[in-house]
Amino acid sequence: MGEEFAEEMEMKVKTTLKKPHFVMIHGISGGGWCWYKIRCLMENSGYKVSCIDLKGSGIDRTDPNTILSFKEYNNPLLQFLSSLNDNEKVILVGHSAGGLSLTDAIHKFAKKISLAVYVAATMLKTGYVTKEDIKDGVPDLSNFGEIGDVYDIGFGMGLDHPPTSMLIKEELHRKIIYQLSPQEDSTLAAMLLRPGPIQALKSAYFEEGDDAEGVPRIYIKTTHDHVIKPQQQDAMIKKWPPTDVYVLESDHSPFFSAPFTLFGLLVKAAISVGCI
């Protein structure tokens, strides 16, 4: 079903020369490698794709325990957008906590973004400002045990200070993040996931940019998500309504569990706002 949908979307754009540039942003603990299936599908269809490694992620070897501000964590994306030509626009796609990176970029580089797509992502207009924002946007994994049972936690500033990094324990990866994904992908992820700079993410709050509301946003909701639960996604969608909402039968990692359908939805999103 997913392959047929992807092929249908591909056929609709084969006759056009207008091929947008997709920029993919991973969630906490991930890296640009998360998008390898989507990147292959897109590049085989003629699209330009860039997969960004945020600070301390992917091949960036910075110790996440030393990254204490969201500004520093998200700097690779902002530097990338800053390097674009003034007349160049891209489609940003963010997964999970990568949604915070998208929102930051929207406020700072609205004129360089033709569309922002949030995939099972944290979508808060000004970041973590209120208790309600934290409730809606921060994963609650208490169903799987106490925090120390669920996460490997780093205390880069000392045990008498807040945690600086967190990573879901390997034995819980499939149960929490990849329950519908192929075994080989969750195995790959277990080898590549890195502790995420939790202290930096907690500091994610943004001043509204003048042109931010002019950037179209599409939310892709994942119905079997144990990380950003469907009710949390619904709350964020209601609080800051996007241009449109697509529903995907997937776990938290649709780039593994439903890559063909996700690819089709990304193309559909680009078509819907005139990027293709």
Catalytic residue among 57, 96, 114, 186: 96
Catalytic residue among 225, 226, 251, 253: 225
Catalytic residue among 95, 252, 253, 257: 252
Phi, psi of 121 (to 5 degrees): -115, 160
Q: What is the DSSP string of 57-117?
A: STT----GGG---HHHHTHHHHHHHHHS-TT--EEEEEETTHHHHHHHHHHHHGGGEEEEE
> 196, 97 in Cβ contact below 8 A?
yes
Say whether 95 is catalytic. Answer: no
Question: What DSSP character marks residue 226?
Answer: S
Report CA torsion sign: 246, 250, 254, 257.
negative
Say whether 173 is catalytic. Answer: no
> 242, 218 in Cβ contact below 8 A?
yes
Say whether 96 is catalytic. Answer: yes
Would you put residue 127 in left (φ > 0), alpha (ψ -120 to 50) or beta?
Answer: left
> 189, 177 in Cβ contact below 8 A?
yes
Longest dimension (CA), the chain: 61
Alpha carbon dihedral 160, 158, 144, 171, in 10-degree steps, equals -160
> 127, 153 in Cβ contact below 8 A?
no
Among all residues, which ones are annotated catalytic? 96, 225, 252
